[in-house]
Structure formats: C-alpha cells, structure tokens
Structure 1
Amino acid sequence: MKAMRTWASVCALAVLPACGDDQDENVVPPPPASSACAEGQAVCEVSQNITEDTTWTKDHTYVLTTNVFVERGTLTIEAGTVIQGRLNSSLAITRNAKLAARGTAAAPIVFTSAVDKGSRQAGNWGGLVLLGKAPINVQGGEDNIEGYPESENTRYGGTDAAHNCGTLQYARIEFAGFRLGGNNELNGLTLGACGTATTVDYVQVHRGLDDGVEMFGGTANLKHIVVTLADDDGLDWDQGWQGKAQFVAIQLSRLAGNNGIEADNSSASPNATPRSSPTLWNVTLVGADRAAGASAQTQGGAILRVGSAGSINNSIIAYFNDFAIDIAGPDSIAEANAGRLIVSNSTFWSNKVAYGETTFVVKSSSDGSDFSEYNVFLGESGRGNSVADPKLGKALYKDPTPEVPGPSFKPEVAIPGGTPPNDGFFDTNAGFQGAVGETDWTAGWTAYPAS
C-alpha cells in the first residue's frame, strides 16, 4: 500500500503512461488506463492527450486544463460522471479514436465549466468535438476543424459514410464555446465528418458562446436534442451533412442568438457534392418572442442558404423577431423550386415575416428575383403548413433560471402532422408537430442554470 500511495502522489494527473524509466523494481506498477485517477482522488486534472483505452468513472470529477485530444483507443465515460473545463480547454475525439459516453436519464454525463456555480458563463471552456472519416464536400475530401490550430489531431473527412465516432447519450454540455478569434470558435457540440454508426441521442447544449450543435459534413444522425440559450445558432450544418434528426428542441435567448437553424452547403462552392441535404422530423424552434418587447436581437427560425437542400417536417417555428423560414441565395432557391428543399406539415406563429403573400417574401440579392416562401411553403403548395398559434405549454418562454424550470416545448394540444418514414431510424409514432408529444422526453435529465 505504501508503494501505491507513492505512485499516486507522483502520478496524480490523468492518463500518464509512465513516470520514468528508473522506477524501483519494488514499486507497484501504475494503474491501468481504465483508471485515470488514483484511488481516493476526488478531482483529477487532465492535461495530456489520451493514446489508449481509458475509462473515466463517476466517483471522480475530471478537470480539463488544456485541449485534450483522444488520439487512439476508446474513451469510456460512465453514467453520472462530471467533466469540467477550464479556460482554453476542450475535449476532442480524433478520427482514429472513439467516444463511449453512455449516461442515463437518472445519471446524465455532464460537461460543464470549472468556474464556481453562480459565476459560470458562456465561453468558460471549449466544448466537445467528435471527428470522423465520412465524406465532406471540401476540395481534397479532408479539412481541419474550426476552433483549433491545424494539426493531425484536427483533421476530419474521408470516404467511410458509416464511420463510427462513438456514442454520446444522455449528456449535458454547458457554458462552452470559447473563441480563438474572428469566426474561429468552438461550439457546444461539434461533429466533423462523423458517419451513420455514430450515436448522438438525448443531448442538451446549454448557454454556449457559439452554436449549440454544428455538423460539418458527414452522415451522422441526431435524436432527442435540446439546445437552450446559444449565443449563435441552435443547429448549424454545412460541408455536405446528409444525416437525419428527430425530436430537436431549440430555444434562443432574448439577449443573444441568431437562428434556430442555420444551413449551408459550401460557402466556397454552393453546389459542391455531397450536397447538404439532411432530413429533419419533429422540430420545435422558439425565438425571443418579439411580443414581449424584450429583444432587439435579429433572430430567425431557419435560414437555409448557400446551396443547402433538405427537408424539415412536423415542426413548430414560433416567436422569432424577423422570420420563420428564409430561403436565401439562388442556389438554395433552386433547390426549393426543384422540390429538394422542403418544409412540410409545420406551424409558424408570431414571427415577423409569416402572415401573408406580401410579407412572407425574401428578395435574392444575388439574382434580383423575388422568391416567395409563402407561395412555396404555404399558399396552395399542399405542404400541410399553416400560420396558427401552437399553444405551447409556456407560451412566452421566460429565460430559464435556477428558480424557473426549463420549457416543456409541448403544445397544450397535440398538432397532427405527417408520418415519419419507416427506415429504422425515425420513430414512426411521432405523427405530431413539434419536438415533444404526449411524453415529455426532455424532463429529468436536462437542466437550465443561469450561471
């Protein structure tokens, strides 16, 4: 036991492969990689990259002190584990490694700020990044993920559409998203070129400095996603994301936040392939509520632009200061006119631009033509869309505080919608509009701290 205590006193940092080549032969060898902390150590600082299978357990708190890359092996995180990030720290799973983070509704995994409760704020630490080998539409098929200086650990992209970045389930990511400069920043959760074998399910991103969840290409699917009070967009995609998403609930703040959804194909080449063309079902997007008069923030429900295609179905888009849906630029307009960019069986309410043919129009500055979202998505389109009060459970959505529970995202009465496709991913019993039906799946594992 004395020798073990000697090892712990020297090797308190997480994931140290060795402590030197001249150890006494009587000293007990270091703990295996599955134990990143010494026995009895409550708080463990993680300051080195991970290069082998490693397990973080719920009886320790792991504090990221720098940008930690899982270079090889699988990082397993037990249900109920808390990971804290200090300033200029983050956790990134490289494309040669995997994440196995399986929380439960009763014991979610929490990624949060290392700052004391009551003083935490957006941007306290970086966030969580998963990188894979699925296709992206940049020249050469690979790129370096934004938010970091370029290195081999930041590369993503490839040809494996089924690549597995790992599993993230029942997890919260709070107060993340530091900015390196300009538009170079990390999101709460970033997925770069993750493939269809990746599992992202029951994940909340709360009070992030940038986007809640951003998809850089790939084919990964999302399910049961909650994004609350992001300083930028709720869900952002570009570089050819062709995945699926169901049950997505996004609420923006009165003080910050741009769009519920911001969708692009490629800013460098709007018609690059693979083209961004995700399929979304059961989405609720809630803005700052201009009727409350509390925000001058420019906010939109979903802006679909720069060649992005895709479909948004069975959705509620309400309380945005500026618009519900904006198809922007000639390339995405062409996708909408061709029926490859679709909004169906959805309800718009209390959005500045969502009332009639004369107001639900966006002029394309690129080609000078008028594109009428009203004619394409309302009017006589037969898409099943409407302008109506969805009667959300908490209609005005006050900013969540520790004293006020988070929004339910649930209408008082279920609004009928279409039937999701029976393809093995979508829940076909979700023939209602919005992210939440009879059962409030957001309850119990989410949290809405102000600081």
Structure 2
Amino acid sequence: MKRRVLSLCSIVLVASLTLTSCTIEVNDGLGEGTTNTPGTTESVLSGSGTLSGTITKDLLIKKGNYTLDGIVKVVAGVTLTIEPGATFNVVTSKTSSLVILQGAKINAQGTASEPIVFTTSTKTPGDWGGITLYGKAPIKAVNGNTTALSEDGNNVNYGGTDPNDNSGIMKFVRVEYAGKKIGDGTSETNSMTFYSVGAGTVLENLVTYKGTDDGYEFFGGTVSATNIVSYGNYDDSFDWQDAWSGQNNSNWYAFQTGTGNFGMEIEASGNADNVAPKISNITLIRNAGTNPESAGSSEISAIQFKKHGTGIFSNVYISGYKNIGSQKAYSVLIQDDATNTNQVLTGKIKVEPINYVNSDQPGVWGYAQTNGGKTFTNTTTVTKVSLTPGAWATVDGVNLLAALQ
C-alpha cells in the first residue's frame, strides 16, 4: 500500500475548505475525484471516480456514476459507505469484484427509487465477480471444521465464533451480470456471497440479476435476509452450505428464465447436527423454456436437499417446474438417504404450507435414493410473495416483479 502526504494540498484545504480534487492521503483503491473532509479521517468520492485496489480507511461514496476496477477489498476496521443513487460500471477486461473482509463493514443503503447498482456496459452474464462479505460467525464445514478456505479465488479463511457479528448493512442494492469464472474456469463466483456472516448484518431488498452462478450463496454463518430477488441466474437462485442457520428470513423470490438449475440447493456439508434455517414466504417461478446449464441434467427441481441440508420453510408458492425429457422436476427433491433419515424424519426439513402449480409431479416429493416417500396437499391460500415495486427491481425497463402480479 502506497501512501503520500501532500502538504501543499493540506494548506489549501485549511484555507478554503472547498477544494474538491485533492487527496491528502492517497491509498490504493482511491482514484481520481477522491477527497478528504477536513478534520476527519474519511475519504469521499463525490459524483464520479474509480474504485480500485485496497480500501484502508473509511470511504464515503456519494450519489453519482463510478467505475469499479479490479478486485476491490475493504480491510478490517474500515467502513465503506455508499449513498442512494450510486451506480458502478464494472471493468470487465479483468477480474473485478467488491470484497468486504472480516472486520470490515459495508454501509450501502439505497432506496426503492434510488437503488445502489453494480452493472456492466457489455451486459453479459459472468462479466464480474459480484459482492462478497466475510464475517466472524460460526460455520460447520466438511468434517465439522470450524474454518474453511473460500471458493471465490481470494483464498481467504472464513469462520469464527461470534454469531452476532456485524458486517454492515445492504439495502436496495442490485448486482447485475456477475458470476465470473475463476481459477481453471470450472469454478465461479456468485452474484452475492456471504462467508460466515453474522446475524448483526442487515440484508434487505436486494436483487441479483443474470449471473452465471448462484444468485445468493451462504457459507455457514447466521445472517438473515429479507425481500430478496434472484432473477435469471444460471445456476441456483438460492444456495447454502457449511450449516448456514439464519432464523429471520422472509420474502424470497426467484424467477428462473432462459438458463437455470435448482430454485434452491441446500446442504450442510455432511454435518447431521445442524440448526435448520427458517424462511417464511418463498416464491419460486420457472419460466417456460428454461433449461439447466448442462443438457440432460436433473437439476430442474424447485428445492433440493442433500448432505444433511435442512430448512423450515412456510408459505411456499412454486410454479412452472416441468419435466425436461426423461428428467423429472419436483417441488422438493431429497437427494440421499441420510438426509431423509436424519433431517426429514426428525422434522428439520419442512416445506409447508405449499402451493405447487403449473408443474409436474404434483403432490409428491422426489427421492433420488431409496427410503423416502412424502406426499402433500396443495394449500390454495398460499399466494405469491409481495414486494414493493420501483427502480430497485427494474432493469432496462423490465419490471422484475411482473410475475408476482
């Protein structure tokens, strides 16, 4: 990290308090247009500029149009604040992403009419790596390990001991065209990824749009999310592992269109002893003509549980999950005997009440192994999720919430 002290600029700032193009302390990550507010340690991006490198001091990004260039990391003890109406055009000629490391915070509070938006000029799914938060909440990884190495190419160890850890606030934030392939090209980042994020973190009114991997993925942790939209993401709309256990989730909506695998893919990394997350009000809609990423794949069901994955879901509306060739689509698919024996039969997997319409295999869960067989009755009083319309859920004039009407 390079740091320069510009004494001439500091004199001018003290005299006038109005200079807007001078940076007193220039850290990697603060581009042109960055200023320091006199008498504070906070830097400011005012209306335009480039975000790059490592953010090592508090930064306020005001409403305006910006560039996000490369992998931008916010380090422990630092808060990145973004005002409503800030839009970031992400550089796609290199690997770019926004990463909030353990001990750092993001304070991104948009509004329904002035969301905070991350997008690309080429509008191609997989253009960039999306937003990743790391926290210090507990996880249970493979073999019950309490720490693990991240899968996002940053090689960060995650996992901790504070279930109430706080990584900040994200409200009315939209991520478009993320899920960039990394490493050997067989792995991908997600649009939004949460590694061991704690329950002190606030996630509300978020949109992930046309990413090439999952819309949202939780790797352990205890954070909850409310009013979240996954639209047109290629892999799973919602995904978790490492025994994620958020207890206060509500109003999750996925619209799968064009390419998409499971609506929800759920596992606990093989740990039978886990705390089931709770989600009230889920709507999963699969548009006609939507195909899995791989031709002939069986990943076309609404909700899949495997490797001891658990979840207590209430008021679930599912529509459009149709067979493709010889592959069958189910409202719920239990992938292995152990998950059925230790989770379904012990009450740690519940999807009820449910209304499963315009779909194949009505009234029955699917079982990929041998020891299952659960039936259900559609509850017609279950209706679609209700979300506030506005610019936050509109992309290029398309209302992402139209299917909820």
1:350 aligns with 2:358: yes
Task: Please list every run of at least 4 consecutive aligned residues from structure 1 whose deviation after the TM superposition is greater than 3 angstroms.
Answer: 1-14, 28-37, 295-298, 448-451
- Which of 374, 392, 395 is equivalent to 1:445? 392
Corresponding residue of 2:373: 372
In 1, the alpha carbon distance for the partners of 2:321 and 2:393 equals: 23
In 1, the alpha carbon distance for the partners of 2:113 and 2:279 equals: 27
- What amino acid is the match of 2:378? S
Give yes or no for contact 1:270–1:331 (8 Å, CA) kept in 2.
no
- What amino acid is the match of 2:235? D
- Which of 188, 192, 197 is equivalent to 2:195? 192
Give the match's secondary structure for 1:169: strand
Fraction of identical pairs, as percent = 26
Give yes or no for contact 1:12–1:44 (8 Å, CA) kept in 2.
no
Give yes or no for contact 2:43–2:58 (8 Å, CA) kept in 1.
no
1:62 aligns with 2:66: yes
Give the match's secondary structure for 1:211: coil
Structure number with higher strand proportion: 2
In 1, the alpha carbon distance for the partners of 2:73 and 2:28 equals: 15
In the TM superposition, what whole-angstrom CA distance separates every residue of 1:101-135 from its partner, at most 9, and x where no partner exists?
1111121111112x2xxx31111111001110000
- The 10-residue stretch of structure 1 (295-304 or 88-97) with the greater mean CA deviation from structure 2: 295-304
> What are the equivalent positions in structure 2 for 1:138-217 lying under 5 Å apart?
138=141, 139-150=144-155, 154-180=156-182, 181-217=184-220
- Cα pair distance change 1:7/1:52, threshold 3 Å: closer
In the TM superposition, what whole-angstrom CA distance separates every residue of 1:279-324 from its partner, at most 9, and x where no partner exists?
01100000133xxxx3443521111111012211101011012221
- What amino acid is the match of 1:434? K
1:232 aligns with 2:179: no
In the TM superposition, what whole-angstrom CA distance separates every residue of 1:153-177 from its partner, at most 9, and x where no partner exists?
x232100000001100011111111
CA RMSD of aligned residues (A): 2.9
In 1, the alpha carbon distance for the partners of 2:152 and 2:83 equals: 27
Give yes or no for contact 2:223–2:246 (8 Å, CA) kept in 1.
yes
1:330 aligns with 2:337: yes
Q: Quote the offset at 1:209 in angstroms.
A: 1.1
Please give the TM-score of this superposition, normalised by the length of structure 1.
0.73
Give the match's secondary structure for 1:161: coil
Corresponding residue of 1:403: none
Please give the TM-score of this superposition, normalised by the length of structure 2.
0.81
In 1, the alpha carbon distance for the partners of 2:214 and 2:131 equals: 12
- Cα pair distance change 1:172/1:16, threshold 3 Å: closer
- What amino acid is the match of 2:344? A
Corresponding residue of 1:260: 263
In the TM superposition, what whole-angstrom CA distance separates every residue of 1:367-401 from its partner, at most 9, and x where no partner exists?
xx241132xxx1xxxxxx4176xxxxxxxxxxxxx
- The 10-residue stretch of structure 1 (162-171 or 135-144) with the greater mean CA deviation from structure 2: 135-144
> What are the equivalent positions in structure 2 for 1:120-139 lying under 5 Å apart?
120-138=123-141, 139=144
Give the match's secondary structure for 1:48: strand
In 2, the alpha carbon distance for the partners of 1:15 and 1:276 equals: 41
Corresponding residue of 2:55: 50
> What are the equivalent positions in structure 2 for 1:382-393 lying under 5 Å apart?
385-386=377-378
- What amino acid is the match of 1:91? L
Give yes or no for contact 1:265–1:276 (8 Å, CA) kept in 2.
no
Give the match's secondary structure for 2:315: strand
Q: Quote the offset at 1:203 in angstroms.
A: 0.5
In 2, the alpha carbon distance for the partners of 1:6 and 1:282 equals: 48
Give yes or no for contact 2:29–2:72 (8 Å, CA) kept in 1.
no
- The 10-residue stretch of structure 1 (66-75 or 137-146) with the greater mean CA deviation from structure 2: 137-146
- Cα pair distance change 1:252/1:277, threshold 3 Å: same
